[in-house]
Amino acid sequence: MKEYLYFGKIVNTHGIKGEIRIISNFEKKKAVLIPNFNIYIGKNHQEYKIISYRHHKNFEMVILDGINDIADALKLKKLPVYVKRVDLGIKENDYLLEELISCKIMENDKSLGIIKDVIYNNGNDLLLVEGTKNFYIPIKGNYIEKVDLENNIVYTKNAKDLIL
């Protein structure tokens, strides 16, 4: 399983005191955006502790320990933000929808494509699959039979019928 999960992206700064704007569709963001929670920024997963958080429009506004002014915050602009799977307390056999991104879709020993994104659509969440044709698989329903995160494969049933 993946140690780090993609949380979102730093899209800009806010003000002169080092506050950053993160855009995120993370499934459990309420568990992450609390004081003293650690997030990891950039490809090298540089660790930062959240000092404070507020929601503003479509953004998560975060102040990080060690980021004290706009110059420090600008260095983080456009970088990806990650969280550690173990910090979220996810049980052994459970998974987050974000963990399915980049998994191969298999049905009857045939590859249908690769999951490229999770679309949160007012309770009708969808997996965007990129294959010979792009298509969506609803999370609710009987399409997903088994998720094998160790091998990065999602096994489906009747998902080929969703390809238009």
pLDDT by 10s per residue, the chain, length 164 = 678 888 999 999 999 999 999 999 888 889 999 999 999 999 999 999 999 999 999 999 999 999 999 999 999 999 999 999 899 988 777 888 888 989 999 999 999 999 998 888 777 889 999 998 999 999 888 899 999 988 999 999 999 888 87
CATH architecture for the domain at 4-87: Beta Barrel (2.40)
The residue ranges of every structural domain in the chain are 4-87, 97-162
- The CATH class that applies to domain 97-162 reads mainly beta
DSSP 100-161: GTTPEEEETTEEEEEEEEEE--TT--EEEEESSS-EEEESSSS-EEEEETTTTEEEESSGGG
